Structure 1
Amino acid sequence: MPQKDYVKTARPKPRAKPGAAKARRGNNRAATRSSRPWLLITVTAMLLGGFAWFLWYLKQQPADTVSTTPAVRQNTQQADKSGADDLPAKPVAEPYQYIKELENKEVQVEVDTTGREPQGPFQMQCGSFRQADQAEAMRAQIAFAGFASAVRRTEGSNGVWYRVVLGPYDSKRQATADRNRLQQQNINGCRIWNWT
């Protein structure tokens, strides 16, 4: 048994608008106009013919056209008679001497050691806690990031502290590189100190 579409049959058909018949007649006129493409063919043929004539005209012109001014004609006739080129003479020596000077030049640099960073081993402290459990948790987080750290117990004037430290590092650059890697793992707050 074929299925029947009850939704389409229940909808009423829309009423025709009064201007719709005129619009359909206008479309028919446009269709009859486009059925006569002789004007389009004629214009296209004229354009192609003009382009072909332009190419033929360019082919007929000599390749090296000479200006028609009398001064230019006279100069070209004299150059043809003499047989010499109009190029300037080749220089005998190099006019610039800096090339030879730079080959034999020595540069002396004075190194100022007063502004350099302090040398020696460095350590990086990533946390200081009152509870040993918090320090161990930070140490485990650093271990998961791939670095070895230690928890050091220190007693000061204001009580006992548990510090999480990494190092020692030979240079501050190595410590900074490790700190940047820790920051990528969302472990922030690490400070680099000179090992004393």
Structure 2
Amino acid sequence: MTKDYAKKRKTARKSNKRSPRQNSSSRKPLSPILVFVGGVLITLFAVFLWVLVKKPEIIKEVIPVKEQAEKVETKESTAAESTETESSEPKFTYHETLTNKEIKVDSTRVTTTDSNKTYIMQCGAFRKQDDAESMKVEMAFIGFQANVEEKDGWYRVRLGPYNSKRAAESDRHKLQDNNYQDCRIW
């Protein structure tokens, strides 16, 4: 019986022309980044365990801080409970601190302003008077009264005079909102 079995097996091997099976459970190799991160985590855990075993005083320094914080919280809660029994209103409020705050300002310091100084804003300079006049009309529609002055063959569209630079800047910002970007203050 064993001879018959051996013959069948030999003939079965010869007749089997299939290729060997691929193992479906074969895995892709792990990425190097994953291996590196895993190694770092394992190292950190090992260092933590080593610190616990070899240097317990470091851990004791950290743990009492938490215990002290808990003790302070319990002391504060007992103190708060005792003050609540004495009076229902808190003794310190942010609003009272601000309203009772006094600020001293040196009033002897005087800011010097030159009231004689005036500012002029120029928004355009043209070779043709018609171009300058059309810009003046466009500014009139916005609400500004411009002047056209001629000097050396140039027709300049100007606004002003302004007593302060702040007033001139304010008008310049209004003009910028209406696409007059090239106005300059002198």
Question: What TM-score results when the alignment is normalised by the length of structure 1?
Answer: 0.40
Higher helix proportion = 2
